[in-house]
Structure 1
């Protein structure tokens, strides 16, 4: 296979990396259907059970910038293999231990390994595909990752009830070993000559340059604003909101969550095509999606009594669009940074959505505890109205920052790289003098 941009070798390398990302999403979300079994196995309370997920995501978010710097230093292949080793070790530990403390350690290892995967895969896309292909491949990558979330729902639940806890998680860990072999055999960091690695003494200077690029912060705030609503809904509060707040059956609520995942997979490539054709309008597209999400949430929360099912369908479909919209942030980072800084730029962008998600998750829980102190069994629609309303300040802050940094990015290009600004308006996202 030849090593040309977008050729057969490019797709082979991308598919190897993508398979690891799907596994990472499976590991990240595997506690969802295993929560009750985990509470029994580890003899823990609901608060301790939530600690597994919160710590895992905290580790993921905290490692994004360091991982981005390491990515520029060592390349995607090494970081993907390291991430696979950590996730495999974490799931092996989770399969056999029975104490809360060791369970926490296992989820921390999973979070640390997971933190290395997505930005490494997006760097593969950036280096192996042309600028016209990258937005589409990036979207497809993000949405196909949801196959891991689907595998961590009904199939994982069936395995847990069929063969038990330890064999199920041991099998999940074994997949990491298999994919490590695939990565070693198939992957290369870049076509042709390997991309030069960033020297350690240049790390600080590179990170400052990455942060100073207005397009990096525009990407960060785009990710911050569009991703968190979907993440909060799917990972923690959507199911209780639909069942306790809206009065749906568990089966109907589960079906709506599956619909949300399907929407992401369907609309991601469509959005990627629009981004590829109209790069100058990327941040406008993000603002339009965020505006739609906030509007539908306002209608649902202000509806007198439980919202009708068709309106809830609209809610999950529109909220799901935040997933594909958040991927625009990575395309912005690619446009406004040279290839030797792309890892750190992707890491900075990825921080945004997870910081917003963790903050919003925590605030929703705090508000619910204040207005319904009786715990989950006492949750009410009015309590959820107040709690879910904490999302609106995040959307408002993020929209303001997107508008602000869009103006800064355009002003920077106009002053320092007018030819790049014209290229952007002409539909090119590889900007002369900036990205290459």
Structure 2
């Protein structure tokens, strides 16, 4: 098999794993009611089940990045994909709600490794000029997985119980894990101007590398900015968007699911093009600030809007999806601000913040809704009152975005005295 074929086959296998993982990530929005009926649980418990994926995924981000930086991609990616499959089976076959909680936890564990593997694969197999475009394609594929978990999955539920759907996904994941183990290969050393993965274990994936990453203020600012956009959007696209639209804005359930599906389209296709546009306009910071500003305006409008404006609510969620495409530019800025052998660790650290935010919002919003309901707030207002949580986080993200340092041209980052000294560590 020639180098080009190896490159595309490896990318395709990892991208399919990413697609399946994003289906699981956003599936609770569609499967919430049947899962709640199966286990006879309320909104707080359901929020806990959905957020379990994100808690474990978040806690595993730095370890997963270090594992991939140190040991390469093939074995970690194969094991991570297999864990996703096992987690899906756990949820589908769970005899009790407590047992069911293990399913999303295993999926989150596996997806943390898959994410680090996918991003590291893109960094070592594709040159800097192609990284933004390839990352955009990858996130488009992920968004298609999210879209499949919304309206298409709702159609599947009309002809099948939810458990067989998850068992099919489990089988596909395990087969895919075997294929990754057999067919993924690293690029020839130096072929794409990158350090070969796992060839310098004393330098890559080490505690010293992690310390070098966490000492960079830029990494934390980008994490805060993405948390305010993607972190809050994921929480609603993955669980609470449909209940909010049905309870507070008068949507029918199928229409609300369709709106959430449509909100993922600008996220996916925006991811494909925003990286290229950022490259062409020679700026990362402007895109990060603009996306954060759109997110703030959308959440604030939803918080204070009249419930009799469903069209405007639909527009807000489409804009929230579009603002989340910022993640491509942000990942490019992270890659440009760290040494090549720390890419996996840096990207995983930033991603950790995003999904920590998602987990907090999913659980916290459910708790706030339950608390508002118990205090006898009007049923239509319960979901609106709790929106102060994502609104506040998005404002904090905008503050972080304003302080992000521009990373184009890359030379300005590489040759600054502070960064040079850190890179030498």
Please say whether Structure 1 and Structure 2 have the same fold, judged by a TM-score greater than 0.5.
yes
SS of alignment partner, residue 128 of structure 2: coil
Aligned length, in residue pairs:
416
Does the CA contact (< 8 Å) of 2:250 and 2:307 recur in 1? yes
Distance 1:166 1:254, change over 3 A: closer
Does the CA contact (< 8 Å) of 1:413 and 1:420 recur in 2? no
Q: Aligned ranges for residues 126-145 of structure 1 at < 5 Å?
A: 126-145=123-142
Structure 1: give runs of 5+ residues left out of the alignment.
Answer: 422-430
Residue in structure 2 matching 1:295, options 289, 297, 305: 297
Counterpart for residue 248 of structure 2: 245
**Counterpart-to-counterpart distance in 2, 1:40 and 1:237:** 17
**Counterpart-to-counterpart distance in 2, 1:234 and 1:82:** 27
SS of alignment partner, residue 306 of structure 1: coil
Deviation at 1:420, TM superposition (A): 12
Does the CA contact (< 8 Å) of 1:88 and 1:173 recur in 2? yes
Deviates more, 1:240-249 or 1:34-43: 34-43
Deviation at 1:154, TM superposition (A): 4.2
**Residues 1:352 and 2:353 aligned together:** yes
Deviation at 1:163, TM superposition (A): 4.6
**Counterpart-to-counterpart distance in 2, 1:255 and 1:154:** 6
SS of alignment partner, residue 372 of structure 1: helix
Distance 1:229 1:43, change over 3 A: closer
Q: Aligned ranges for residues 16-415 of structure 1 at < 5 Å?
A: 16-192=13-189, 194-195=196-197, 196-199=199-202, 203-279=206-282, 281-303=283-305, 305-373=306-374, 379-381=379-381, 383-406=382-405
SS of alignment partner, residue 346 of structure 1: helix
Root mean square deviation of aligned Cα: 3.1
Does the CA contact (< 8 Å) of 1:128 and 1:190 recur in 2? yes
Does the CA contact (< 8 Å) of 1:224 and 1:326 recur in 2? no
**Counterpart-to-counterpart distance in 2, 1:324 and 1:415:** 24
Does the CA contact (< 8 Å) of 1:335 and 1:434 recur in 2? no
Distance 1:236 1:153, change over 3 A: closer
**Counterpart-to-counterpart distance in 1, 2:98 and 2:367:** 24
Distance 1:314 1:341, change over 3 A: same
Distance 1:274 1:420, change over 3 A: farther
Deviates more, 1:242-251 or 1:153-162: 153-162
Does the CA contact (< 8 Å) of 1:232 and 1:357 recur in 2? yes
Does the CA contact (< 8 Å) of 1:90 and 1:110 recur in 2? yes
Structure 2: give runs of 5+ residues left out of the alignment.
Answer: 191-195
For residues 179-230 of structure 1, give each alpha carbon's deviation from its aligned partner in whole angstroms, at most 9, with x where no partner exists: 1233123312334474224338971111001112344234322322221231
Deviates more, 1:230-239 or 1:37-46: 37-46
**Counterpart-to-counterpart distance in 1, 2:178 and 2:107:** 19
SS of alignment partner, residue 284 of structure 2: helix
Distance 1:301 1:52, change over 3 A: closer
